[in-house]
Amino acid sequence: MKALTIRIIKLMMGLFLFAVGIVMTINANVGLSPWDVFHQGLSKMLNITLGQAGIAVGFIIILINFFFKEKIGWGTVGNMLFIGLYIDFLMFNHLVPTFESVIPSTIMMFLGLFVVGCASYCYISSGFGSGPRDGLMVVLTKRTNKSVRFVRNTIEISVAVAGWLLGGFVGVGTVVMAVTTGYFVQFAFKLFKFDVKAVEHRYIDDDIRFLYQKFRKEDEGLEEN
């Protein structure tokens, strides 16, 4: 129980830090990350918050992943829900400063990417499954037989263009983040000496199966008595 509690705390801390990192890149005002360009464009079109747009997109992606039988973890659902809520909380309360000058903005963007990398380590290492967008990348990689790099780049270019057409903010930072986010995540993994291949994720269907078997054994025990 103690180990499970620690993992849950690690997951929630990672999701909060992820939101902090995203808001830092947004408030840097040098361009949004590809997915956030799409979220912002969608938020303008539907007149909803950026966080709500992220939640809606995450929910749809989870449905797509489920349809293609990609495993869904509690961390996947948490990623969809809490990051959007945390983003709105941080932005509405102005808890992250906004910069306009080039040098402070650039520093803020890279610091945000570093925080995103550390956050990725926290929530992935908790072992509750990957985020919805990572799951979509896996699904499309399996279905197309293309490389992970090709699939990821295609997804990010597509959502950035779609978001831009909807009114999302594309800037130099958009290109920088599209190219460098993976390096920051990899750097964080090395910093914490984390081997992502060694993580054994627990998925929702594992818990359902566990509970089913547990209740079945209890029923059988009652019948024997």
pLDDT value at residue 54: 96
Q: Which residue has the tokens 């990572």?
A: 134
Cβ-based neighbour number of residue 54 at 10 Å: 30
* 40/86 Cα distance (integer angstroms): 16
73 - beta bridge partners?
Answer: 203
Under 8 Å between Cβ of 43 and 163: no
Has residue 219 got a pLDDT over 70?
A: no
Spatial CB neighbours of 120, under 8 Å, sequence gap ≥ 6: 14, 18, 185, 188, 189
For residue 124, give both structure tokens.
């992935």
* 208/223 Cα distance (integer angstroms): 22
pLDDT digits (tens, 9 = 90+) for 56-114: 999 999 999 999 888 899 999 999 999 999 999 999 999 999 988 999 999 999 999 99
Q: Which residue has the tokens 């912002």?
A: 40
* 189/185 Cα distance (integer angstroms): 6
Question: Residue 215 — pLDDT band, cuts 50, 70, 90?
Answer: confident
Under 8 Å between Cβ of 31 and 21: no
* 172/159 Cα distance (integer angstroms): 16
Burial of 104 per CB tally in 10 Å (0-12, 13-18, 19+): middle
If you average pLDDT over every residue of the chain, what do you get?
90
pLDDT value at residue 49: 97
Question: Residue 120 — pLDDT band, cuts 50, 70, 90?
Answer: very high
pLDDT value at residue 149: 77
Average pLDDT, integer, range 161-187: 93
Which among 136, 131, 125 is positioned nearest to 196, based on CA atoms?
125
What pTM was computed for the model? 0.89
Q: Which residue has the tokens 């590809």?
A: 34
Under 8 Å between Cβ of 56 and 80: no
pLDDT digits (tens, 9 = 90+) for 7-64: 999 999 999 999 999 999 999 999 999 999 999 999 999 999 999 999 999 999 999 9
Question: Residue 129 — pLDDT band, cuts 50, 70, 90?
Answer: confident
pLDDT value at residue 222: 61
For residue 221, give both structure tokens.
């025990």
* 202/176 Cα distance (integer angstroms): 34
Percent of the chain, pLDDT > 90?
A: 63
Question: Residue 224 — pLDDT band, cuts 50, 70, 90?
Answer: low
Mean pLDDT is lowest, of 47-61, 99-113, 158-172, 184-198, for 184-198
